[in-house]
């Protein structure tokens, strides 16, 4: 049965990150939104560890945040009131520790790799 591109990229998946204290963070994301542009963002993010300048490093973090804004649909992360969902925006993501944002990124990428199916022989 045929499918539209809109329907294809609207499919979601979830990853859950467990922390040492028993807390968890569940992130819902769009795996099929990873395309050439988002893949290019990943290459910039990967350059963070090799960044020799502050500007290069900040560019990598901006790419990380842009990737998360493009891919994450929702999560069970809340403001300190415990009621209001923490927004997934370029303005607010820098408030989340880098280690947590990186863990979200690698959990999503690991989930995508785990769920890839090998092409069937014809």
Q: What is the pLDDT of residues 84-107, one digit of tens each?
A: 999 999 999 999 998 899 899 999
- d(CA 100, CA 88) in angstroms, rounded, equals 14
Please give the full DSSP string across 8-75, using - where no structure is assigned: HHH--EEEEEE-TTS-EEEEEE-GGG--HHHHHHHHHHHGGGG--SHHHHHHHHHHHHHHHHHHEEEE
pLDDT of residue 5: 87
Q: What is the pLDDT of residues 50-83, one digit of tens each?
A: 556 667 777 778 888 998 999 999 999 999 999 9
Quick check: 116 pLDDT over 70? no
Q: What is the mean pLDDT of the chain?
A: 85
Instruction: For residue 114, give the H/E element and its range.
Output: helix 98-115
pLDDT of residue 103: 93
Quick check: 48 pLDDT over 80? no
pLDDT of residue 6: 87
pLDDT of residue 96: 95
Please tell me the pTM assigned to this model.
0.78
Give all domains of the chain, ordered by start, each with its CATH number: 5-110 (3.30.2220)
């Amino acid at each position: 049965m045929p499918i539209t591109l809109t329907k294809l990229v609207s499919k979601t998946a979830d990853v859950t990150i467990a922390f040492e204290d028993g807390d968890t963070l569940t992130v819902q994301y769009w795996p099929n939104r990873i395309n050439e542009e988002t893949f290019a963002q990943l290459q910039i993010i990967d350059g963070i560890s090799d960044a020799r300048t502050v500007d290069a490093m900040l560019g990598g973090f901006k790419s990380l945040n842009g990737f998360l804004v493009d891919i994450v649909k929702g999560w069970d992360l809340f403001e300190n009131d415990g009621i209001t969902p923490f927004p997934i925006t370029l303005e607010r993501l820098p408030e989340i520790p880098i280690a947590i944002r990186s863990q979200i990124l690698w959990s999503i990428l690991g989930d995508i790799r785990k769920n890839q199916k090998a092409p069937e022989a014809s």
